[in-house]
Chain A
Amino acid sequence: MVDLRHAAAIVGIHEHATRYAPDKSELQIQGESIIKALEDAGLTKNDVEGLFTASSSIRNSGLNLADYLNMYPKYVDNTTVGGGSFEFHLSHALTAIAAGRINCAVITYSSLARSGGVSVGTGGVGRYGHPRLDPSPDSFEEIYGLTTVGLYAMIAQRHMHLFGTTSEQLAEVAVATRKHASMNPEALFRTPITVADVVNARVISSPLHLLDCCVITDGGGAVVVVSPEIARNCRQTPVWVLGAGEAVAHQGAGKRDLMYIAAKQSHQPAFEMAGVTHKDIDMAMIYDSFTITVVETLEDLGFCEKGEGGQFVSGGRIQIGGELPINTDGGGLSSNHPGMRGIFLLLEATRQLRHQFEGTPRQVPNCQLALCHGTGGALGSRHSGGTVILGRD
């Protein structure tokens, strides 16, 4: 494969700090985020050649965003594969830039999941109104009352059955991310919690409790990705896209072992492209829709053996100061989760690689390499997985 290391860099980011924005439109949040991210990079509207976005609510999202912002991008990609879509976008932007098709791309997302009252995890198929089911797979699934949390809970249940994973171990993920959220003034929930708080919270879908589940917020953000030539003249330290891998996992005609997730397929190409190994990674942003998502992802990314994720996340290992700090912004479990969260993984990894928090407890010391893994869809039915590895010079 062509060496794509240092072929594209993240040079601008913005996270829309709002967690509740009932008086804004989704396109406005995207527009405001793009403007701020370009400002961060020291670039302008006219520099943007590629537009990457995903939405579960905006029709023809790339087209409508271009219209709203009066842009004429020559490269448009609204790959929508659930919450991890934005890791796919970065992977695609890398390829488009490396091929010389474009020199500057923006990736953006927004959602009003909270002010819109969308029950993302527990609404079931009827959360957007009375549904007409597709002949397949809906008609063989939704008639039984699937929920997003239920589809992850089923995987948690079997993980416990096969490997002896405990609710207390899953709770460690929520405790660690809340500790990180306590250092993030923009996080929705910042008060530290204990393992007991998590396991004593009400059960939403067994064995997952309320605090095993991500929050629901409004919000959005944007990322600016450019060629090395442009990166050299930007205001910020470039954060290079060193490796990327994409995968899907599904029912496999009723025969796939659902305990293995897409991360198992997507991480290898990412590590190979980047030419690094697990022990080189200084911090990771792991999509945390639910606590079990993190445990399964760390296993299938290869940070520990299958079945050992429960032990791996315990004892402070995934906290700042531990062996592999994850979700240092507080993650979806405590900071924000506006329907899809993949873009925020890229934002926080970039902040850490810029050493933006130097001199504060939130900074991962000497952070040189970060891994982001976005999961979209549901582990129990079908989902996507996008792994990207980012690094600084």
Chain B
Amino acid sequence: MPEWNKPLPSIVGETRPYWESCRRGELVIQRCDSCNEYQFYPRGICANCWSNDIKWVKASGKGTVWTYTVTYQNRTQGFAQDVPYVLALVELEEGVKMFSNIVECIPQDVTIGLPVEVTFVQANNQVTVPFFKPSA
């Protein structure tokens, strides 16, 4: 496993199930049992109706590129060596958008609307990070 030199997420109670699922290779998101709305990023309160009746559900892991940029300059350690890389907002099939990188392709292949699917990279023994790649 190559050494992870990018920033790592901080994990707390309200977000721990997300990161634990990632370690198992599963992308989960939240849905409110009171109003049935999905939300992202995960939080301890329903952003729509403010109930705490939040349930974790397995996402299909499929979505499309809502928008993206090919980054040529970022001085942060771990990214400076990675340029050019694709930063994207992926719209999941469930209707919520999340930031990610589009990997396992050349940046020029990425377009808005491109179908993508989740793929996981283990950062260390505690953290696995979800990315997206063009759908097979």
Segment of A142-150, A215-223, A236-244, A301-309 in the binding face: A142-150
Cross-chain contact B112 with A161 (CB below 8 angstroms):
yes
Cross-chain contact A134 with B10 (CB below 8 angstroms):
yes
Interface-centre pick from B15, B68, B72, B88 (highest chain A CB count, 10 A):
B72
Let me know if A64 is at the binding interface, CB within 8 A: no
Cross-chain contact B71 with A145 (CB below 8 angstroms):
yes
Segment of A80-88, A176-184, A186-194, A199-207 in the binding face: A199-207
Cross-chain contact A203 with B10 (CB below 8 angstroms):
no
* A98 to B98 CA separation, bound complex (whole angstroms): 43
Nearest-CB distance from B110 to chain A (Å)? Answer: 10
Cross-chain contact B39 with A157 (CB below 8 angstroms):
no
Cross-chain contact B70 with A203 (CB below 8 angstroms):
yes
> Which of chain B's residues has its CB closest to A136's CB?
B41
Cross-chain contact A157 with B71 (CB below 8 angstroms):
no
Chain A interface residue bracket vs B: 35 or more
Cross-chain contact A255 with B95 (CB below 8 angstroms):
yes
Let me know if B119 is at the binding interface, CB within 8 A: no
Cross-chain contact B95 with A143 (CB below 8 angstroms):
no
* A16 to B11 CA separation, bound complex (whole angstroms): 43
Q: With A145-B76, A145-B101 in contact, is A150–B71 under 8 Å at CB?
A: yes
Cross-chain contact B15 with A126 (CB below 8 angstroms):
no
Say which residue of B38, B39, B70, B101 sits within 8 Å of A205 (CB atoms).
B70
Nearest-CB distance from A110 to chain B (Å)? Answer: 23
Nearest-CB distance from A278 to chain B (Å)? Answer: 29
Nearest-CB distance from B116 to chain A (Å)? Answer: 14
* A134 to B7 CA separation, bound complex (whole angstroms): 11
Q: Return chain A residues, CB-CB under 8 Å to B6.
A: 143, 145
Cross-chain contact B99 with A144 (CB below 8 angstroms):
yes
Q: Return chain B residues, CB-CB under 8 Å to A253.
A: 37, 39-40, 47-48, 96
Segment of A50-58, A116-124, A267-275 in the binding face: A116-124
Q: Return chain A residues, CB-CB under 8 Å to B95.
A: 254-255
Q: Return chain A residues, CB-CB under 8 Å to B88.
A: 154
Interface-centre pick from B11, B41, B85, B99 (highest chain A CB count, 10 A):
B99
Let me know if A340 is at the binding interface, CB within 8 A: no
Nearest-CB distance from B103 to chain A (Å)? Answer: 10
Let me know if B77 is at the binding interface, CB within 8 A: yes
Cross-chain contact B67 with A144 (CB below 8 angstroms):
no
Cross-chain contact B10 with A132 (CB below 8 angstroms):
yes
Let me know if A158 is at the binding interface, CB within 8 A: yes
Let me know if A153 is at the binding interface, CB within 8 A: yes
* A255 to B89 CA separation, bound complex (whole angstroms): 11
Say which residue of B9, B15, B97 sits within 8 Å of A143 (CB atoms).
B9
Q: Return chain A residues, CB-CB under 8 Å to B74.
A: 122-124, 145, 147, 150
Cross-chain contact A205 with B73 (CB below 8 angstroms):
yes
Residues of A within 8 A of B (CB): 119, 122-127, 130-147, 149-150, 153-155, 157-158, 161, 202-208, 251-255, 258, 380
A-B contact pairs, 24 of them (CB 8 A): A122-B74, A124-B79, A126-B77, A133-B8, A133-B10, A135-B11, A135-B15, A138-B7, A139-B10, A139-B15, A142-B7, A143-B8, A143-B9, A144-B87, A144-B100, A145-B101, A146-B99, A154-B68, A154-B88, A205-B87, A206-B70, A251-B97, A253-B37, A258-B67
Chain A to chain B: the 4 pairs with minimum beta-carbon distance, closest first: A254-B96, A126-B76, A124-B76, A139-B9
